Structure 1
Amino acid sequence: MAGLRIGVPDLVSPSYFPAIAAVELGLLADEGVEGTIELVFPVTDAATSLRDGRLDLLAGAAHAPLYAFPGWRNARLVAAISRNTYWFLVVRSDLGVARGDLKALLDLRIGAAPGVDEGLRQLLVRSGVDLAGQGLRIGPIPGVAPGTISFGVAAAEALADGRVDAFWANGMGAEVAESTGTGTVVVDARRDGGLGSRLTFPAISATQDLIARDPAAVAAVVRALGRAQQVLADDPERATEVGRRLFPPREAGLIAELVRRDAPWYGTEISPEAVAGLNAFGRHAGLLEHDVAFDDVVVTDFFSSGTSR
């Protein structure tokens, strides 16, 4: 088949970086498959593009296909990019909110991308936060429109110029905000643990049509992803060469450290526990009416083709 079109909802980010590196470091080509990375923001639009055939695979949030494939009909997860919820809540530094102090979040405009915003709502509500009572308004960032944009960096810029008081986004946005002194990380969902860490995770999804039509190509993607995870874990500085090709200079200089932090969470296998968390997330978000069986969410045939760390 022609080269695979692999969609990502955020390019300048560590969230989906192993999938990007699999293409940019030539690892997918080494498997005999050509591929390109296409930025489609937000992830809800990327899921629609997967459904409509404008993308062949999606490297995005594991729950994203549910926005376009109700009940997982004709979509499956084929590999994890990393484990656990991977977003950060960053608040204006001058507000003085301490790490984990969710009760101190008062009267804030919080920027979050469509499809990602639900993760923050669930984290806060399940933690006992009264969104309306605390005056929290979660929604799109003014001036950030769907299309091709890297949301984390855009969110950090919006925080700096006062369009939002806080944002919920990826590690690159959090690092930019912290390094410039404009933002403070209040929640790191993955590392803080608790309910917020088990909502969703980064994954590769594909249509069942593609899996049936060209399983060898899907297996090649998972092998290349697994190799990319290992290469980046062994030498995070390899991320810089990718960053220099794709990222602005500041972000290219940050990506290796962000990869270093994320590497312990790398692995292609998806566990039943991860799908249980995903089911709960889907129910609470109104994306699922009931739990869906593991084998109706995940195709495990390709796991041995990748790596588990």
Structure 2
Amino acid sequence: MKLSTVFAPMLATPDHIAIAEQLGYERAWVFDTPHQSPDVWITLARAADKTERIGIGPGVLVPSLRHPMSAAAATATLASLAPGRVAVAFGTGFTGRRAMGQNALPWNAVAQYVSAYRRLLRGEIVEWEGAPIQMFNSADRLADAARDVPILLSAMGPKGETIAKSLEVDGLMSFGSTVPAMKDFAWSVIQVGGTVLEEGEDADSDRVKATAGPAWAISYHAAHDFQGGFAAVETMPGGKEWSEVIARTPEVERHLAIHDGHLMYLNEADDAAWKGGGKALLPDLTFSGDAGRLRDLIASYAEEGVTEVAILTSGPDIPHELETYWKALDGIQ
């Protein structure tokens, strides 16, 4: 089992990735969330300059946010700065599209995009928007720099798993829970978020709320967006309170209220849900607990085909969170 990190990027993220490297983490993934964070590629390029060993890459890219040539050029640039260390993951877009009022991309569109992107990295001619395109072999030789960069797909359901197999990608990625097809891939990543509980610390302390709360809160966002709107949310503790806050926003702008702070901090509705009893779900919805519980969770992930656990750290002291997770899980790798 490999132990990695994942970041909702901030301007300080490159420094945090350098700390993760010093501690011994395998890889640092960075979200593609331009509506609330610094640019993913600039963040990774800055991290490449500050590190020497740790793997780096976007996890996950949202195809609709950029032309495949732009994604290929960014990948080649990063691979030139950090040779042998780059991997790239793609998805249909949860935060990266829902926060802008759009549904997730259809899988056939993702498949077409990833196929074109991979062929561009290999220097091939690709037809896109009715015309052939190709990465030219310029002085920096970008057309060859990322030929072998691994590609993963975030696939949380059977259709995505089928697409991943048909594209013959290098691995699967999920957030929060495993998927059956992880056993079919040599590289399977689960992204999780939470915090290491201190001895005698209550799971509803202010520190836990700040550090594990963002990973806990996305269950309310996902319940609304994918499982039936307010009716689905209101089956959860604190769901009524969450819905009451969100309902105050006109429906045309409601996605802005729902996804404010997504995986970074609690918004007003999330805070209402926490205070309304939702905090009781935190142990079940996040990668939180003492060292023994966290090790047990990793053992269960391994049984389900996971080969890499990427931990999202949040709150006011991310270096501390990185260090406490590493100490709690020392020897897992």
Structure 2 length as normaliser, TM-score? 0.28
Q: Does 1 or 2 have the higher relative contact order (CA < 8 Å, sep 6+)?
A: 1
Structure (1 or 2) with the larger CA radius of gyration: 2
